[in-house]
Amino acid sequence: MVDSTNHPLSGLWRPGGVKAVFYGRNSVEKHLLSALPSESSKAFIITGNSLATKTNLVRQVEQILGSLYHVGTFSHIGEHAPVAQLDEATELVKRDSYVDTIVSIGGGSPIDSAKAISHRLHQVSGKYLYHIAIPTTLSAAECSGGAGYTTSEGLKTAIAGAGLVPAVVIYDSSFVLDTPPQLWMSTGLRALDHAIEQMYHPTATELARLMCLQAVSGLFINLPRYKKDPTDQEVITQLQIAAYASLGYLGLNTKGPLGLSHTLGYALGSPYKIPHGVTSCLTLGHVVKLKAEEPASAEQIARMAPFVGLTRGGHDEQDAKQVGQTILDLVENLGLKTTLTERRVGRDQVPIIVKRALGGTESGPLYDKVVALVEALY
């Protein structure tokens, strides 16, 4: 049974497990303690080395928790969440049986690692850790129950479950001031990737799509504003809200990966050490133009035209291709345009990349189109 249809318009949206989303300046200081599940909670922090050594953010969270609630910190999570570091962090959390809460600070890798640790402990104890996410990028990893980590062979492995959705998300604009602007803006393109690919996902619901349209608008309006002034915390908060809207209303009944830009991102990310924000900068606009050739996808993409500053012309395919070009223009205007040549990915890798992105397919019309798309990224 399909939970949603476009013609006729009907559907079912199954909400995720988030209990609270706090946002605004100094939200961590104001709300972290009240967000703990109980007065006797014990919390373990998962974060990355840069945040722990180059900023005061992790120490600030440790001080707020104090010795009453804070039992440990693991700060060696690397990009794409390598499994060796995940193994090490899991063992540290397992040592204290009183730990019931995991606090992730950072971008997608620490947040996904916290989910993976909770998943592993659930397999042993039958209980998930209570996850409080404090994002410092716009990757929106905090919005879903999906997580990815990198195997020892360098490939991304995914896990997912309703119990892995963070219970609490705290968007604190003051925690973003130390995030490099290029990283912040590129992860904004990742959030845009979530919103746009959800629009044409075959099992997405109309409730989710309405939020995605608002996410697209918020990202298009506020990313250029952020570039002009990366210290404007009102703009930062608007971008955090847009990032949540891009994925936070996905719904537990949405089936499968979001779309081709995402699967290309996974094929390019871990194997070639390209951050997922950068993979979205590379692929999204081109994928949208390709999807515009499919009538059902074009219908949904064309709806975005007014939300990216365009006037609809009345022809879905043409309008959808204009949306794709506007995305490419945004990437360039933000100073985020790059190529696979600059990322040192050899042209001999094209068939490997496409095969990974298409789940093993090595021939056919779609394969040929995606080969041409990837070759255009050099």
Strands 10-11 and 4-5: antiparallel
CATH 3.40.50.1970 maps onto the chain at 20-175
Low-confidence ranges of the chain (pLDDT < 50): 1
Contact between residue 190 and residue 276 where contact means Cβ atoms under 8 Å apart:
yes
Measured CA distances, 120 to 86, 90, 327, 353 (Å): 10, 8, 38, 30
Q: Are 221 and 188 in contact (CB under 8 A)?
A: no
CATH 1.20.1090.10 spans which residues of the chain? 181-375
249 DSSP β-pair partners: none
Write the DSSP string, 136-197. SSS--GGGSSEEEEE-TTS-EEEEE-GGGS-SEEEE-GGGSTTS-HHHHHHHHHHHHHHHHH
pTM: 0.94
Element holding 368 (H helix, E strand): helix 365-375
- Cα distance between residue 315 and residue 320, in whole Å: 8
pLDDT at 1: 47
At residue 155, the pLDDT reads 67
Taking the CA atoms of the chain, what radius of gyration do you get in angstroms? 20
As its CATH architecture, domain 20-175 has 3-Layer(aba) Sandwich (3.40)
Class of the domain covering 181-375: mainly alpha
Tokens of 368: 């040929």
- Which structure tokens are listed for 80? 């794409």
Query: What does the pLDDT read at residue 85?
Result: 85
